[in-house]
Amino acid sequence: MPVTNDDVRHVAALARLGVNEARLPALVAELNGILAHMEVLAQVKTAGITGATGVGAGGTPLREDRGDPIPLARPVEDIAPRVRHGFFLVPRLDSHGALGASVDDE
Amino acid sequence: MSDPSLPVASGAAARLREAIVAGSTTPADAVTASMQRTREVGAGRDRLNIVLWSDPDAALAEARAAARVVERGGTPGALHGVPVMVKDNIATITLPTTCGSRILEGYVSPYEATAVQRLRNAGAIVIGKTNCDEFAMGSSTEYSAWGPARNPVDPSRVPGGSSGGSAAAVAAGLVPIALGSETGGSVRQPAAFCGVVGVKPTYGRVSRWGLVAFASSLDQVGVFGRTVEDAALGLEVIAGHDPLDSTSATASVPSCRGAANESIAGLTIGRPKEYYPESLDPRIRGRCDRALEILQRLGASVEEVSLPHTELAIPVYYIIAPAEASSNLARFDGVRYGPRLEADGLRAMYEATRSGGFGPEVTRRILLGTYVLSAGYYDAYYRKAQQVRTIIAQDFRSVFEDGVDLLFTPTTPTPAFPLGSVSDPYDMYLSDIFTATANLAGVPAMSVPIGRVDGLPIGGQIIAPHFLEARMFAAAFALERALADEAHR
């Protein structure tokens, strides 16, 4: 079933991509052109075949479920605009500027 | 002053290091020679557009510091004083890492990729970041937000991609070794187009820590060298287990340079018929057959084999890679990285920033990837592609289990094409038709120069079983020695 304008609007919204309406027909044509080449896969018999999840010789190696320290070149305080209680404070949106006190305003 | 031609000579990296250790030149002289060469060939943004970011003063300071360490009794590393360049999607703390994208304009990583750290630990001096297709999505380096790179062999043509800048940097003699990254052929294809050696290691052989993720089940850091020896040296330095990458393998790292002394007599080399279709340019077929004749003369036996699902590799690849990319690139939203385009509300800001920051190919792949993962299409596309990927990997396993030691194929179906000549996205994807299979199967593969067609370089691809890079290099060394100048004419 070919991709439609609405399909592209839908996936663009899922992907948080703004798509210009004027560009929409070209994108629909491009995606349909690409997906037409994928139809060949439907002819392949895959009953009972497990999807590949790793391609290492012995599968993906496992490790203890903990994070190793990240060797940062600079202290974390130098990376973010601000840090409080170990959390990064990012600049607030312009459109939220009037919604009361910001953590940036302390 | 050192001989400025030294970095481009045969076996340049190792010989350059030896000259530095012997005191006949210095790391600073080597860096100066590379910078001079960069200017001479016009590798900057105004001509070939190979090098995006560099800081000559910092590189010289680093070179002088490296010299002082050795003067004070430190042991010179395997790349002591050797200038190198790194693709713009591999994190460096000294230079920007923009992935060829406006969405990361001005971004400098707070941490360094393990592969880069290992180069530095070995004494290499990182003198520049190289142009690439945006987020490594492309086969020509035309999709860089900073403009297309050009092939130093013929500047009217592309250098290949996505690691086109790194391949071109080595081909133009700026550095003997450069890092690139592979997802579907992004080291081997530009290596073939530029006439240099390009290596994609086994999945897990080289840490992906600090490689900006595109498609995590396929991505690998790879190496370019002007010679097989330089590529082998570069791979030895960056390979090996890294606890910071959960997919990093614990397998021991073989001596790839040691493979230069290994005989290939007795090896069975497969010629997979699907890589030599009727439509293949007869001149490329002829060069490949000539290479196979040489390998046979050196004692290997050549037999025709079949990898029957090869034609499915591009459809599978262009479902799986965009699907993974759509997830990996979700983090670029104007909050954590790069410039932000303000709009009315959070969602509108995300959409404005991402639409303004991503170029056309990245946008296309995010949409495609989101589509194949979305409800109603997941089973038909994504699940199906993962199953066929299993079948493609099984093709390789079968042929290797049946006694074939290596495979030999053309790296690309054509030589480098003119800038702007491929406009259909799927036609561009077909550039990867002979390379994407190795990424899907996770096996190591490399491209070596095997001659020219119409004055343009072409590459031969050697593919090996998982973690048998040393065997792959043995064939590459043998072929390079036997072809000698013929590889470049």
B385-433: pLDDT as tens digits: 999 999 999 999 999 999 999 999 999 999 999 999 999 999 999 999 9
Residues B302 and B319 in one domain: no
| pLDDT higher than threshold 90 for residue B87 | yes
- Residue B8: the pLDDT is 43
Q: Which domain holds residue B361?
A: 315-379
Encode pLDDT of B9-23 as tens digits: 456 899 999 999 999
Rounded to an integer, the average pLDDT of B359-383 is 96
More confidently predicted of A93 and B483: B483
Q: Do A79 and B371 touch (CB under 8 A)?
A: no
Interface list for B 372-391 with A (CB within 8 A): 374, 380-381, 383-391
Per annotation, catalytic residue among B2, B87, B101, B326: B87
Work out how many domains chain A is built from and give that number. Answer: 1
Rounded Cα distance, B474 and B405, in Å: 12
Closest by alpha carbon to B139, among B174, B180, B94, B97? B180
Please tell me the predicted confidence (pLDDT) of residue A77: 79
Residue A26's domain comprises 5-43
Instruction: Tell me what pLDDT residue A67 has.
Output: 74
* Tokens matching residue B315: 């459809």
- Band of residue A98 on the pLDDT scale cut at 50, 70, 90: low
Question: Can you read off the two tokens belonging to residue B81?
Answer: 């004083």
* Probe site for chain A from B346, B365, B368, B466 (most A CB atoms < 10 A): B368
What band does B278 get if pLDDT is binned at 50, 70 and 90? very high
Q: CA of A4 to nearest chain B CA: how many angstroms apart?
A: 11
What is the per-residue pLDDT for B7?
A: 46
3-state SS string for chain B: CCCCCHHHCCCHHHHHHHHHHHCCCCHHHHHHHHHHHHHHHCCCCCCCCCEEECCHHHHHHHHHHHHHHHHCCCCCCCCCCCEEEEECCECCCCCCCCCCCHHHCCCCCCECCHHHHHHHHCCCEEEEEECCCHHHCCCCCCCCCCCCCCECCECCECCCCCCHHHHHHHHCCCCCEEEEEECCCCCHHHHHHHCCEEEECCCCCECCCCECCCCCCCCEEEEEECCHHHHHHHHHHHECCCCCCCCCCCCCCCCCHHHHHCCCCCCEEEEEHHHCCCCCCHHHHHHHHHHHHHHHHCCCEEEEECCCCHHHHHHHHHHHHHHHHHHHHHHCCCCCCCCCCCCCCHHHHHHHHHHHHCCHHHHHHHHHHHHHHCCCCHHHHHHHHHHHHHHHHHHHHHHHHCCCCEEEEECCCCCCCECCCCCCHHHHHHHHCCCHHHHHHCCCEEEEEEEEECCEEEEEEEECCCCCHHHHHHHHHHHHHHHHHHHHC
Determine, yes or no, domain membership for A13.
Answer: yes
Say yes or no: B208 contacts chain A, CB-CB below 8 A.
no
**Domain presence at residue B386:** no
Last residue of a domain, one of B349, B379, B409: B379
B151 and B215 co-located in one domain: yes
Least confident of A12-21, A49-58, B21-30, B49-58: A49-58
Q: Is residue A67 part of a domain?
A: no
Can B355 be counted among the known catalytic residues? no
Mean pLDDT of the A11-22 span: 95
pLDDT of the residue at A56: 64
The CATH number of residue B195's host domain is 3.90.1300.10
Question: CB contact, 8 Å: B71 with chain A?
Answer: no
pLDDT digit string, tens, across residues A25-79: 999 999 999 999 999 999 999 999 988 876 666 666 677 777 778 888 888 778 7
Is A79 part of a structural domain of the chain? Answer: no
Mean pLDDT of B287-307: 98
pTM: 0.95
Residues B184 and B247 in one domain: yes
pLDDT tens by residue, B153-169 = 999 999 999 999 999 99
From A41, A57, A90, residue closest to B315, measured CB to CB: A41
The Cα B168–Cα B170 span in angstroms is 5
Q: Decide if B314 and A37 are in contact by the 8 Å CB cutoff.
A: yes
CA atoms A59, A61, A64, A68: torsion sign: negative
Give yes or no: residues B249 and B286 share one domain.
yes
**B144 catalytic residue (yes or no):** no
Q: Which residue has the higher pLDDT, A96 or A5?
A: A5
What was the pLDDT predicted at B314?
A: 97
The mean per-residue pLDDT over the stretch B251-269 comes to: 96
pLDDT (tens digit per residue) in B436-455: 999 999 999 999 999 999 99
What pLDDT score does A86 carry? Answer: 79
Mean pLDDT calculated for residue range B218-238 = 97
- Rounded average pLDDT over B98-102: 98
> Is B467 an 8 Å CB contact of chain A?
yes
For residue B155, is it within any domain?
yes
CA distance B216 to B419: 29
Of B379, B408, B429, the residue that ends a domain is: B379
Mean pLDDT of chain B: 95
Statement to judge: residues B421 and B352 lie in one domain: no
How large is the average pLDDT for residues B293-304? 98
Closest CA to B157 of B141, B181, B173: B141
**Rounded Cα distance, B123 and A97, in Å:** 49
pLDDT (tens digit, 9 = 90+) per residue, B115-168?
Answer: 999 999 999 999 999 999 999 999 999 999 999 999 999 999 999 999 999 999
Which pLDDT value is given to residue B381? 96
Clarify whether residues B341 and B489 are in a common domain. no
B162 is catalytic: yes
Residue A27 falls within a domain, yes or no? yes
Q: Are residues B410 and B339 in the same domain?
A: no
pLDDT digits (tens, 9 = 90+) for B179-206: 999 999 999 999 999 999 999 999 999 9
Please give the pLDDT value at position A73.
87
Q: Return the minimum-mean-pLDDT range out of A13-17, A62-66, B82-86, B430-434.
A: A62-66
